[in-house]
Amino acid sequence: MELMSKMMTIKNYINGEFVNPTQDNWLDNYNPSNGEIYGQIPNSTQDDVENAYQAAAKAFLSWSNTTLEERSNILSKIADLILQKIDFLAAAESKDNGKPILLAKQVDIPRAASNFQFFANAITQFSSESHESVGFNAMNFTLRQPIGVVGCISPWNLPLYLFTWKIAPAIAAGNCLVAKPSEITPMTAYLLGEICNEAGLPKGVLNIVHGLGTSTGQAIVTHPKIKAISFTGGTKTGAQIAKIAAPMFKKLSLELGGKNPNIIFADGDYDKMLTTTVRSSFSNQGQICLCGSRILVEESIYEKFKFDFIQKVSELKVGNPSSLDTNIGALVSAAHLQKVKSYIDIAENEGGKILFGGDSVTVKNFENGYYLQPTIIEVSDNNCRLNQEEIFGPVVTLMSFKTDEEALFLANDVKYGLSATLWTNNLNRTMQFSKQLQAGIVWVNTWMLRDLRTPFGGAKDSGVGREGGFEALRFFTEPKNICIQYESPS
């Protein structure tokens, strides 16, 4: 497939085949690096979702009865094929999303392969419990059965990475799927369909429908027979989905937004902290739900940190995502660029001071791309919108604190609770903060170090439920208690 030069038409992947949307209705797909339309994607309707559902329902009986070894082998094969095609997939991801190609090659695509490989292994180790009812001559055991047809809806920031993070455990657990990637970054999910066919995934196990959240996504969420929804995206969207799904008694996993504190104490490893903080602030143009967008620094090193951080950030190169020396590529869309800029525009009114950046960047030969400088804003009031709302772009705020109590208060004083990063070498402080931070994930002296066995997800408005490891396999299975009473021995 010639990816870089011609217009690409993406199709739905239903029952192992690539098909047009039933109403022949299409959406434009943009290249964020130059603002040009380079392809079209289906604007799928309820009928397309229904076709995907029917294919999945048909495949379910057979897929849910395949041996674990068979499933595991197919998932491993998918992982191998992703790695074999790493250059091609990284180029596709970078072009579709605007992220630096090196990031796609070093993070996104290898992680998509790891997701499949991890669950290929995990399913062979997944087990359930038994409980002997002593004195009643009864034995209970828990059957963990696949749910049936499940819906997976993923966002645009880490397209293949987050898509596979959902679909790999869902498939491994024996479910069949109707899945939808973001309409803003549909390309690598489309390419995954071909890989699944090549790996021998039976027809109908994975069905991918493309289209808008408010129509295609909504059709998945409202479908009466799709009994579980795994969603990653904005908090507002998560609330809308929960409102529909709850009265239909669907199982829900919601991974939503974050406004994560990066708490820096003077007693930490300064150099490691500084380098990591540049990454945790601006990786993927700041479009990662785990980015540490609120930097809280102990007063004694605040001025030094401010100086050094600005210096390091000024060395980052904003540019064409396909150049190997680009650190910060394009934001994902014109609308998202506008949203992020709107926060920079209110900085002064909110009592903020722009210490670095704040402007769009014009990249030579890519003048219509969606580029923004990495931006650092100093704030003094944690209640300002810049510190309370998820900006989801290359924008961080800086604030100082005096005591541990104040740092903890500031860290927790938001509606979100996804992750937190702590820089300290004090063991007592590490334990006290780890216990009291209101977050699903706490990193101490590191950031975004992921072990796929660990629970992943957020507290408060950052979501409901956990992904990762056996948590994901538990989500994608329905536990059933079997209680057998037997005659007492004579």
Give the catalytic positions in this structure. 255, 289
- Strand spans (E) along 312-440: 353-356, 375-378, 395-401, 416-417, 419-423
- 355 makes contact with ligand TXE (CB under 6 A): no
**Strand residues in 374-434 grouped as ranges (E):** 375-378, 395-401, 416-417, 419-423
| Stretch in the footprint of ligand TXE (CB under 6 A) among 5-13, 44-52, 235-243, 275-283 | 235-243
With CA atoms as reference, report the closest residue to 122 among 453, 456, 477, 478.
Answer: 453
What 8-state DSSP symbol labels residue 247? G
- Beta strands (DSSP E) in 357-468 are 375-378, 395-401, 416-417, 419-423, 441-444, 459-460, 463-464
Q: Does 256 bind ligand TXE (CB under 6 A)?
A: yes
For position 237 contacting ligand TXE by CB under 6 A, the verdict is: yes
- Distance, in Å, from the CA atom of 343 to the CA atom of 348, rounded to the nearest integer, reads 10
Q: Contact, 396 vs 295, CB < 8 A?
A: yes
Cα gap 46→36, rounded to integer Å: 29
Closest approach, Cβ 220 to ligand TXE, in A, equals 7
440 binds ligand TXE (CB under 6 A): no
Q: Which residue is nearest to ligand TXE (CB)?
A: 213
* One residue of 265, 392, 416, 443 binding ligand TXE per CB under 6 A: 392
CB of residue 343 to ligand TXE, shortest distance in Å: 10
Interface of this chain with ligand TXE, residues 129 to 158, rule: CB under 6 A: 153-157
The end-to-end CA distance of the chain, in Å, is: 72
CA dist., res. 40 & res. 186, Å (int)? 10
**Is residue 196 near ligand TXE by the rule CB under 6 A?**
no
Residue 10 vs 256, nearer CB to ligand TXE: 256
Determine which residue in the list 240, 430, 434, 445 makes contact with ligand TXE, applying CB under 6 A.
240
Interface residue with ligand TXE among 110, 159, 204, 257 (CB under 6 A) is: 257
* Separation between Cα atoms, residue 376 and residue 361, nearest integer Å: 15
Q: For residues 265 and 301, what is the distance between their CA atoms, to the nearest angstrom?
A: 8
- With 0-12 CB in 10 A as exposed, 13-18 as middle and 19+ as buried, what is 349? exposed
Q: What is residue 188's DSSP assignment?
A: H
Q: How far is the CB of 255 from ligand TXE (least distance, A)?
A: 6
For 65, 262, 472, the CA distances from 477, given in Å and listed in that order, are 14, 35, 9
Cβ proximity to ligand TXE, 222 vs 412, nearer residue: 222
Please report how close the Cβ of residue 476 comes to ligand TXE at its closest, in angstroms. Answer: 19
- Which residue bears the tokens 């997944």? 126
Q: Considering beta carbons, is residue 117 or 285 the nearer one to ligand TXE? A: 285
3-class DSSP state for residue 304? helix
Q: Is 285 in the site for ligand TXE (CB under 6 A)?
A: no
Phi, psi of 283 (to 5 degrees): -55, 140
Establish if 209 lies at the interface with ligand TXE (CB under 6 A): no
Q: Tell me how crowded residue 198 is: count the other CB atoms within 10 A of its CB.
A: 13
Our CB check for ligand TXE shows the closer of 14 and 337 to be 337
Among the listed residues 265, 216, 270, 290, the one whose alpha carbon sits nearest the alpha carbon of residue 447? 290
Count of residues for the chain?
490
**Minimum distance from residue 258 beta carbon to ligand TXE (Å):** 7
As measured in angstroms, the least distance from the Cβ of 418 to ligand TXE is: 8
Residue choice 15, 33, 44, 182 for contact with ligand TXE (CB under 6 A) = 182
Residue 468 CB, nearest distance to ligand TXE (Å)?
A: 15
Q: Does 417 bind ligand TXE (CB under 6 A)?
A: no
Q: What token pair was written down for 331?
A: 């934001």
Determine, following the binding rule CB under 6 A, whether residue 261 of this chain makes contact with ligand TXE: no
Q: Could you tell me which stretch among 252-260, 322-330, 352-360, 379-387 binds ligand TXE (CB under 6 A)?
A: 252-260
3-state secondary structure of 73: helix
42 belongs to the binding site for ligand TXE (CB under 6 A): no
180 contributes a contact to ligand TXE by CB under 6 A: yes
Regarding 289 and contact with ligand TXE (CB under 6 A), the answer is yes
Nearest distance in Å: CB 341, ligand TXE: 12
Residues that bind ligand TXE (CB under 6 A): 153-157, 180, 182-183, 213-214, 217-218, 221, 232-234, 237, 240-241, 255-257, 289, 339, 390, 392
